[in-house]
Each structure stands twice: as C-alpha cells, then as structure tokens.
Amino acid sequence: MRLLIVGAGGFIGSHLCEWILKNRKDWQVTAVDVSFTKIEHLLGEEQLRVIEIDILKDRDVLEEHVKECDVVFPLAAIANPLIYVKNPLKVFELDFEANLSIVRAAVKHGKRLIFPSTSEVYGMCGDSEFDEDTSCCVTGPICKQRWIYSCSKQMLDRVIYAYGLRDGLRYTLFRPFNWVGQRLDNIYDTTNGGSRVVVQFMSNILHGQDICLVNGGFQIRCFTDISDGISALIKILESDCADGQIFNIGNPLNECSIRTLADNLLVLAQKYDSLKDTVCKVRIVQVDSNEYYDKSYQDVSRRVPSIKKAETILSWTPQINLHDMLRKTMDFYFE
Ligand code: NAD
Ligand code: UGA
C-alpha cells in the first residue's frame, strides 16, 4: 500500500508514520509537511519519503503526489482553539480551502481518502453521548469565532459525503476526541492557550506558572491515548467495511473535567525530579474565557462520544485509561 500522509510531521501524523514503519514493512509512506522535527527519528528509513510542501501554496505539486498514492490522509490543519479566535481566516484557508483541494484531487484521481473530522463538529450538542449519524452539529453565533474550525471541518465532512454519493469517492471520516500523548504540542511554549490543554498544564508545571482553569474548569472532555487512536486508524485502513462511514474515535471511560485534569497532573508531577523546583510554585487559578482567549471564544461544556459504531464495525475498543495515558505523556516530556 502507498500512503500519502499530509501533515505527517504533526502529532497524529508522526505517530501514524512511526507505527507503520515499525509494523508494516511493505507499506510505502510519502510524508508531506513544512516541519519534520517530530519524525526526525524516522528520517532515512527506506519506506519513508519526506517531501516539504506548503499546502497553501503548492497545490499542483501536491496533486501529483495524490495521483501516485493509494490512500490519502490529509492531516495538516490548525487544531488549536487560540488560533480559531485570533486568526480565524488562517483556519479557514488551511483547514477548509487547502484541504478541499486535496479532497478534490482524491475524487479526480479515484483515490481512497481517510479524513480527520473532529469531535468539535458536534459543538454544543446536548446529547449525553454524541452519535455520528443522529447527533446535531450545534455551533454559536458568527461573532463567536471559535466555531470557524468546527464549521470548516463540518463543511468538508458534508462535501466528502456528497462526493461519495455522486462520484463514488471511497472515504472514511474519523472524529478524534482529544487525543493525547508524546509529541502532542510544544512544552516550551509558555503562551496562554499556546498548546492543547494537557500540554498547556504540563508546560505551566514545568515553568512554575499558574494553571488557569477557564471559566472554572467544569468543562468535560474524554481524553484518548494516541496509541488507541492509531490502532483505530489502522483498523480503518485494513477494513473493507469502513468505506462511507463516520467513526467517533474517543474513550468515553476517560471522561474528566478540566479541573480534575489539573489536580491529577499536579499529583503525578510530584514523581519527576525535573519538576521538583517548579511544581511547588504552581497555583490553580480561575480565569474568565474573555480574558484567557478572547470575547469570541465559546466552549463545549461536555463532550462524550458514542463509540458503538467503531466497536461494532471495526472491532475497536480503546485500552488506555486516563492515569496511564497521563503517566506515559509525562514520562515523555519530563524523564
Ligand atoms: P498538529 O497540529 O500536531 O499537526 C498538523 C501538521 O500540519 C503540523 O505538522 C504542521 O506543520 C502541518 N502543517 C500546517 N500547515 C501546513 C501547510 N501549510 N503545509 C503543510 N503542512 C502544514 O495536528 P494533529 O493533532 O496531528 O491533528 C491532525 C488532524 O487531526 C487535523 O486535521 C486536526 O484538526 C485533526 N484532529 C486532531 C485532534 C487531536 O486530538 N489531536 C482532534 C480532532 C481532530
Ligand atoms: C480541541 C481542539 O479544538 C482540537 O485540537 C481538536 O479538534 C478537538 O479538541 C478534539 O479533540 O476534537 P478543546 O478540547 O476545547 O478542543 O481544546 P483544548 O485547548 O485542549 O481545551 C480543552 C478545555 O480546557 C477547554 O474547555 C479550555 O477552555 C480548557 N483550558 C484550556 C483551560 O481551562 N485552561 C487552559 O490553560 C487551556
């Protein structure tokens, strides 16, 4: 199998490349990105071809690579809420426009597409568990720019679905629910909101800074270990039944409030020598979202996936509990 992984130098892309190079010696990977630091340890492997392409600019070059592969994973996107509110047009240009070109190239050349949707498409849906085929996508008013990411992804989901019906595009949409693990984000970035929450709080601990609970930290997420995420992607790749389907890929048993996440991380941090001088300085404080992000931020108060479809169709069930996931991630950053 020849895979084209666009955004291969990112969090999910780097783990996907790593897994394939270790476990499927007969698959060929073309890794496209503008940064390859997270896959530096894989460079030089025969199975891996690395190509630097800015997908905002070099769309024709990218199309040539789509033409040459069997399966495309378009993983390049902005996936950080601070940028949704600070630079929404950049999110639209990359997450929607640039990815739309890849989708169209897959349609034109008859390639299989495995596309990352997101748990964010459900937005503020009130269902106790989000279901891929019945839950509504609920976003806020236009002035709440946070939703530009959710809307960009939702629109692509709809476009891909329509190409499937009209042109027979072979596709699978997967919706990660807060995947976490080694190489998630940059621990040295000390900007508030510079990283997704788990790395943000670890960075706060590393730098002896206050942990900020946005609007009290009562929001709930279901954190999912990256290894469980990757095993779902491999099941999708190897399955004959994943075509035309949307799958939530999350761990409903790892439901946790942001407040509890902060408490857990502070307890776990005690074990690392590298943190002993800073962890004692960290306080947990509450911050209004207008101050932390912007007035155009709005939050999802509870986000829990139904994973019945992935369990039934893919025979996939997440294995890693919250504690082990946080330990593994902290070991990577702090040992
Ligand atoms: P990431 O930010 O870690 O990786 C994105 C990669 O895209 C980076 O390596 C970046 O350099 C690359 N990129 C950015 N602009 C580019 C450009 N112009 N040209 C080429 N490459 C460019 O993101 P991730 O966490 O790996 O997420 C991958 C995909 O999964 C994204 O579409 C994201 O929206 C989606 N997703 C992720 C999660 C999660 O929990 N991590 C949740 C839901 C959806
Ligand atoms: C994220 C991002 O939109 C995407 O990475 C991804 O597509 C999506 O989750 C997903 O998994 O599908 P969110 O979970 O809101 O969205 O992003 P985080 O930045 O990780 O924040 C989680 C929660 O922690 C939010 O409620 C946020 O307000 C809160 N938070 C964040 C704090 O309380 N303090 C902080 O310092 C940072």
> What token pair was written down for 203?
């960075």
How far is the C-alpha of 40 from the C-alpha of 306, rounded, in Å?
36
User: 201, exposed or middle or buried, with CB in 10 Å at 0-12, 13-18, 19+?
Assistant: buried
Percentage of the chain lying above the pLDDT 70 cut: 100
Mean pLDDT throughout 57-73? Answer: 97
Interval 227-233 mean pLDDT: 98
Those residues with Cβ within 8 angstroms of residue 69's Cβ, 6 or more apart along the chain or in another chain: 2, 3, 4, 30, 111
The CATH architecture of the domain made up of 2-180+225-252+304-319 is 3-Layer(aba) Sandwich (3.40)
pLDDT band at 328 (very low <50, low <70, confident <90, very high): very high
List, as one string, the DSSP characters of 135-167. ---B---TT-TTHHHHHHHHHHHHHHHHHHHHH
pLDDT value at position 62? 98
d(CA 47, CA 68): 15
Mean pLDDT of the chain: 98
Token pair 């990105």: residue: 33
Task: Please report, to the nearest 10 degrees, the dihedral formed by the alpha carbons of residues 132, 6, 101, 58 taken in order.
Answer: 160
Q: Is the Cβ atom of 199 under 6 angstroms away from ligand 2?
A: no
Q: Are 170 and 180 in contact (CB under 8 A)?
A: no
Ligand 2 pocket: which of 130, 179, 196 to mutate (most atoms within 8 A of CB): 196
Percent of the chain with pLDDT over 90: 100
193-224 pLDDT, tens digit each: 999 999 999 999 999 999 999 999 999 999 99
Q: Which residues line ligand 1 (CB under 6 A)?
A: 7, 9-13, 33-35, 54-56, 75-77, 79, 94, 116, 118, 176, 178-179
Say if CB 214 and CB 258 are below 8 A apart. yes
Which amino acid does the sequence have at 157?
Answer: D
Reading the block at residue 323, the tokens are 């504690």
Question: Using one digit for the tens of pLDDT, what is the confidence trace for 45-59?
Answer: 999 999 999 999 999
**pLDDT score recorded for residue 104:** 98
Distance from residue 54's CA to the centre of ligand 2 (Å): 26
Measured CA to CA, the distance from residue 44 to residue 47 in angstroms comes to 9
Q: What is the pLDDT of residue 135?
A: 98
The reported pTM is 0.98
Give residue 87's pLDDT.
98
Q: Does residue 292 carry a pLDDT above 90?
A: yes
Residue 240: pLDDT band (50, 70, 90) is: confident
Angle at 126 between CA 312 and CA 130, to 5 degrees: 15
- Predicted confidence at residue 222, as pLDDT, reads 98
Q: CA dist 150 to 95, 154, 214, 272, 282, Å?
A: 10, 6, 20, 37, 33
